Chains A and B, each alone.
Chain A
Amino acid sequence: MAGRRLRGVAGSPGVALGPAFVFAPAARAERPATASASPEAERARWREARARLEAAYDALLERAGGAEKAGETAEEGLAILEAQRMMAADPGLEAAVEEALAAGRPAEAAVREAVDRYAALFAGLEDAYLRQRAEDVREIGEALLRALAGEEPIPLAELPPGSILCAAELGAGALAALDRQALAGLALGSGGPTSHVAILARSMGVPAVLGLGDFLGELRPGQRLAVDGGSGELWIEPEGETLARLEAAARRERAEREALAALAGEPAVTPDGLSVELAANIGGPGDVGPALEAGAEGVGLFRTEFLVTGRETLPGEEEQAEVYRRVLEAMSGRPVIFRTFDVGGDKPLPALALAPEANPFLGYRAIRIGLEHAELLRTQLRAILRAAAAVAPEAGGEAESPARVMLPMVATLEEVRRARHLFEEVRRELTEEGRLPAGLRVPLGIMVEVPSAALIARQLAREVDFFSIGSNDLVQYTLAADRTNERVAGLYQPLHPAVLRLIGLCGEAAAEAGILCGLCGEMGGDPRATALLVGLGVRELSMAPASLARVKREVRRTPLAEARRLAAQALECATQAEVEELVERFLEGLEAGAAGAGAEGR
C-alpha cells in the first residue's frame, strides 16, 4: 500500500507534507427575503459593507506588502489583491447596486443582481483568462454578502502550523488572509492553472493541487497528506516508498530554495574569476520590472515585434522611439539589445500584406523583410538611435550607448553589409539633424540562428560588434526539425553535438575578434547547459527572468577551466544522449566537490 492518490490539476509546483486542515467557512446567515427596510437604510447597509470589505483588503495588502519584503509574496500576488480591492470599490458595480437599491430592492438582492450581471459579462468573453475572472466577481460578491450579514468579509482560518489546507473552493483574497508560516500546501476542489488562487499560490511559493472536485468526503481532518503541485496529485496517508520519495523531494526543494535565496545579491562570476552577463528576454516595457527584480544585468533580447504584429498600420518613428527610450530609462544604463522586427513567416504582419508561403521557416522573414522594405528597418533604426541619444549623458566625447541593435536571422555576409550600410546612413542623417551626438557608439550585432552564419562566424565577427546565438532556431535549422510538430519534436535536440559545434565556432570566432558572444534562446535559461555554454565561449546568457537564479548558481560553481574541458569532451560526443550523460556526470562531480569542500570547511 502506498496510500491513496487523488488526481487534480497542477496549480503551483512543489511538494508539501502535513496534516489536513479542512476549511469550510460557516454558511452565511441569510436574512429572510421578506425582510425589508427603507431604501435609505439599505443604502447605508451596503455602503458600510463595502467599506468593511475595502478595509479588509487594505489589511491584506499591508500584510502581503510586508511578506513581499520578506520574499514570501511576489509582486504578482500583490497585483491580484490590488485588482480585487479595486473591483470591490468599482464605480460601475456601485452604480449597478445603487440603481437596484433605488428601485426598492434589499441590499443583498441588489448586490447579488449586480454581481450576476458582471459575472455573466465575464463568462461570455473569448479570452480564457478573462473568462475566469467571473470567479473574482463572485468572490467579491460573496465577501459583500458576508459583510452585509455582519460576518468577517474575508473569512480567516486559524491554521495549525504546517497544515495542508483543504477546501472545496478558496478565493485569492482568502488565500492571502492565511498565515503563510502555518500554510504548507493547498488542495482545492475547484480552480485551474490560470485561476487567481493558483497565480497567488505560485507567487507565495505554496505548493497547490487544484480541481480535485468533490474530494473533501475522501479525507478526515488531521490525516497526513502530501501535495505534489508539479504532478497535480494529492496523496492521502502516503506510505513506504511513496512517502520516502515525497519526503526527499520536499527536503530537496527546501534546500534549493534556501540556496537560491542566498545568491540574490551575488555576482555571476565563476570561481576562477570569469564574469558572465546574465540578462533577461523581454517582450515590452511592462516586462522590465520583473526582469530587474529577478536580478537581470541587462536585456539580452528585446522582442520589438509587439509594436507591429496584429496592426494594420506601422508604428511611426516617434512612437517607437518613445517605447525604446522608456525601456532604456527603466534599465538605467544596463545594456539593452533591441532585435529589429522579427516578423514574417509564422508571425504575420498585416500592414505589409505578405502572401502565405509553403515553407515559412525557410521563407521571407526577419532581416530578409527588413532589407527589402528598407523604410520599415530605417524607421526602426532611427527610433532606436534617437532613444539611445535621449538617454545619453549631456557631455560629448566618445561613449558607448547601452542600446544595441541586433539583426535577426542573418544567413550571409552580404546581409550584414547591407544592414550596416543602412545603419551608418541613418547615423549620419541623425547626426546632421543634430539628433545624435557624433561620439555616441551604438553597437550593431547579429543573431546567429542559421547554421550558415555559425559556419562563417570568423568572417562575420570582423564586421559586427557582437553575436547572440538564437538557440531555438539554430537547433531547429541544424536538425531540420520543427519543435512544435509532435512527430519530430524528439529531433529538437539542443545538446546535440552538431549544435554544440556551431555554438563553439561562434564562441571561438568572437574571442578571436574581441567581441561578445551571447545566447538568447531557451538554452540560456537551462541550468544543465550553462557550464557547456560557458566552456564553448558564450559570455552572456539571456533568458526568462524566472531562470536567472538557477543559472547564476551554475556559473558561480563552475570554474572556467573545467567548463572548457567539459565542452571539449562534449564536442567529441556522437549523440545528444552521450552529451547528456557527460553533463550529468559533470554536475554530479560538482555537487560532490561542493559537499566535500563544505565538509572540510566545517
Chain B
Amino acid sequence: MQRATVVVGQAEGLHARPAAEFVKLASRFRAAVRLARGGREADGKSIMAVMALGASRGAEVELRAEGEDEAEAFSALRAFLEGGGA
C-alpha cells in the first residue's frame, strides 16, 4: 500500500468540479483509493464521500492506494491533489 499526507492545492479545495475530476481519475485505476481527513475516511471513487470530507484549499488529507496498480494510481492522484489540476 502507498500512503502519504498531501496538501490540497486546488484553488477551490475539493469542490464539485475538482472532486468529480479526482473521482474520474481514481476510477481509472484498479487499486482501492481512500482519502482520510480529521478522523473521517472516504472512498476515493465516491464523489459524495470525497466532497463530504470538506477539504478546502490547504487542507491536509491522507491519500492511500492499495492494489495491483497502486504505484501509478498513487502518483497520479497525489500530483492531482497537490498541483490543482489534471
Chain A residues within CB distance 8 Å of chain B: 76, 79-80, 82-83, 86-87, 90-93, 118, 121-122, 125-127, 129-130, 133, 136-137, 196, 283-289, 306-307, 309-311, 315, 319, 322-323, 326
Contacts and interface: CB of A to CB of B under 8 A. Distances in A.
Contacts of A309: 58
B64 to A, nearest CB: 17
Q: Which 3 interchain pairs have the tightest Cβ spacing?
A: A286-B85, A284-B84, A310-B58
A127 B11 CA distance: 13
13 contacts: A83-B16, A83-B17, A86-B23, A86-B47, A93-B46, A127-B13, A196-B16, A284-B11, A284-B85, A287-B11, A287-B84, A307-B82, A326-B83
B16 A127 contact: no
Given A79-B16, A86-B24, A130-B14, 14 more contacts: A80-B17, A91-B43, A92-B43, A93-B46, A127-B13, A284-B11, A284-B84, A285-B84, A286-B10, A289-B85, A306-B11, A310-B7, A311-B58, A326-B85
Tell me which of B7, B20, B52 has the highest count of chain A C-beta atoms within 10 A of its own C-beta. B52
A448 to B, nearest CB: 26
A423 B86 CA distance: 30
B65 interface: no
A91 B79 CA distance: 24
A76 B21 CA distance: 13
A319 B10 contact: no
Given A80-B16, A121-B52, A133-B51, A284 B46 contact: no
A322 B83 contact: yes
Contacts of A287: 11, 84-85
Interface of B: 7, 9-20, 23-24, 43, 45-49, 51-52, 54-58, 79, 82-86
Nearest to B42: A92
Contacts of A307: 9, 82
A222 to B, nearest CB: 36
What secondary structure prevails in chain A residues at the interface with B? helix
Contacts of A130: 13-15, 51-52, 54, 56
A83 B20 contact: yes
A584 B22 CA distance: 47
A387 to B, nearest CB: 12
Nearest to A133: B51
Contacts of A288: 85
A314 B12 CA distance: 21
A129 B12 contact: yes
Tell me which of B10, B14, B20, B58 has the highest count of chain A C-beta atoms within 10 A of its own C-beta. B20
A326 B79 CA distance: 11
Given A80-B16, A80-B17, A90-B46, A286 B84 contact: yes
Contact of B16 (A91, A133, A310): A133
Contacts of B52: 118, 121-122, 125, 130
A288 B83 CA distance: 12
A283 B12 CA distance: 11
Contacts of B19: 83
Nearest to A313: B7
Contacts of A118: 48, 52
A347 to B, nearest CB: 12
Nearest to B47: A86
Contact of A86 (B14, B18, B20, B82): B20
A82 B49 contact: no
Nearest to A172: B16
B54 A323 contact: no
Nearest to B5: A312
A129 B82 CA distance: 20
Nearest to A307: B9
A287 B19 CA distance: 15
A92 B84 contact: no
A206 B50 CA distance: 30
Contacts of B24: 86
A92 B43 CA distance: 8
Tell me which of B9, B16, B58, B84 has the highest count of chain A C-beta atoms within 10 A of its own C-beta. B16
A125 B23 CA distance: 20
Contact of B46 (A92, A196, A311, A322): A92
Contact of A79 (B9, B20, B58, B82): B20
A136 B11 contact: no
A284 B83 CA distance: 7
B32 to A, nearest CB: 12
Nearest to A283: B11
A358 B7 CA distance: 29
Contact of A306 (B9, B16, B43, B49): B9
Contacts of A323: 82-83
Contacts of A311: 7, 58
A125 B82 CA distance: 22
A87 B54 contact: no
A79 B21 CA distance: 9
Contacts of B43: 91-92
Contact of B56 (A83, A87, A121, A126): A126
A514 B4 CA distance: 49
A30 B15 CA distance: 33
A522 to B, nearest CB: 17
Nearest to A125: B54
Contacts of B45: 91
Given A283-B11, A288-B85, A306-B9, A137 B48 contact: yes
Nearest to A131: B54
B49 to A, nearest CB: 5
A123 B84 CA distance: 25
A392 B56 CA distance: 35
Contact of A284 (B10, B23, B47): B10
Tell me which of A127, A307, A310 has the highest count of chain B C-beta atoms within 10 A of its own C-beta. A127
Contacts of B46: 90-93
Nearest to A137: B48
A196 B19 CA distance: 15
